[in-house]
Amino acid sequence: MTPVLMDPVPVARGYRVSHLTRYRYSSPVALSLHLLHLQPRPLALQAIQDLTLSITPAPSQRQERLDPFGNPVVTLAFEQPHHELSVELAMTLWRQPRPPEQPSLPWQEVVAVLTYQGKPLSDDVLEAQRYRYESPHVRLKRSFADFARDCFAPGQPLLDACRALTAKIHREFTFDPEATDIATPLLTVLEERRGVCQDFAHLMLACLRSLGLSARYLSGYLLTHPAPGMPRLVGADATHAWIEVFCPVNGWVGFDPTNNCQPDLEHLVVGWGRDFTDVSPLRGVLLGGGSHDPEVAVTVLPLDEAGAAGL
């Protein structure tokens, strides 16, 4: 009897993640309020274990809740003077492979699905509507639609067009941490062709939304790979940004224009929103403090390396 060959069972991959943010203030902070998007949201393909969030000094008030997009968020209030603030997240995170994609509709048919035509919209399409319009860092402009137009020929399947746009941004833009900051207009990024992952994610969102599609901003972590022969450095990683587009057949499908790939086992999701402002890892308002710059150290290690690194 001929044996039946079964597809291999997808194997989850485990990581140890640490994320330290430290502020040292030049003068005392009398009062402060902070909003933290650090705890990953549980997902069908992602599970969190052993999560700890250490805060020094201890906050006067701490509240945990879900934001309007369903992301876990922590609010901290400090009512005593302090010269330093340290926030450290440590966790084990398991990630499963993304499922195979089904052929997608032509992109113009997806735009039609997202457009109200006198009939009630389904729940998933209604949810997608919030990611179809302008947001604080993503404008709808003809310039963005024109930039993407050669990737979105009439009749082109949506996901094929998105792969082409991902490759185009990766090919035509240079990663340059000194070129932009959070206040740099997206039209400047388009003109100068330089930026960081946050800029490239915002650019792809602007292109897709300007064409009438729904797309959202993803914040999380990425496993980076040291150069051959070099050790993996602890604390040298950073948060990462990519996007997901709404596809009626497949749901939300991810694309990473910074690395010209589709997120899979090495992309770890913290949360999503309309753009960076909805899922900024840590932001706040202070009374006092003088000058201060954050020190940020992020480490993402496969579990088989984490023990040797003491994480």
Structural domain 107-276, CATH architecture = Roll (3.10)
Q: Where are the alpha helices (DSSP H) in the chain?
A: 107-114, 123-129, 142-148, 158-172, 186-192, 197-210, 303-309
Domain ranges within the chain, ordered by starting residue = 13-96+280-305, 107-276
Q: Is-same-fold flag (13-96+280-305; 107-276)?
A: no
For residue 291, the 8-state DSSP code is S
Predicted pLDDT of residue 86 = 96
**194 strand-pairing partners:** 174
For the segment 186-226, what is each residue's pLDDT rounded down to a tens digit? 999 999 999 999 999 999 999 999 999 999 999 999 998 87
Query: What is the CATH topology of the domain spanning 13-96+280-305?
Result: Immunoglobulin-like (2.60.40)
For the segment 23-60, what is each residue's pLDDT rounded down to a tens digit? 999 899 999 999 999 999 989 999 999 999 999 999 99
CB 81 within 8 A of CB 30: yes
Query: Which whole number is the average pLDDT over 168-197?
Result: 95
306 — pLDDT class (breaks 50, 70, 90): low
Query: Which whole number is the average pLDDT over 179-192?
Result: 94
CB 152 within 8 A of CB 104: no
238 — pLDDT class (breaks 50, 70, 90): confident
pTM for this model (two decimals) = 0.91
Query: Which whole number is the average pLDDT over 226-231?
Result: 70
What CA–CA distance (Å, rounded) separates 215 from 133?
9
Predicted pLDDT of residue 237 = 80
CB 274 within 8 A of CB 140: no
pLDDT at 4 over 50: no
What is the token pair recorded at 218? 């993803």
Predicted pLDDT of residue 121 = 86
Percent of the chain whose predicted confidence (pLDDT) is above 70: 92
In angstroms, how far apart are the furthest CA atoms of the chain? 79
172 — pLDDT class (breaks 50, 70, 90): very high
Buried b (16+ CB within 10 A) or exposed e, 245-258: bbbbebebbbbbbb
Percent of the chain whose predicted confidence (pLDDT) is above 90: 81
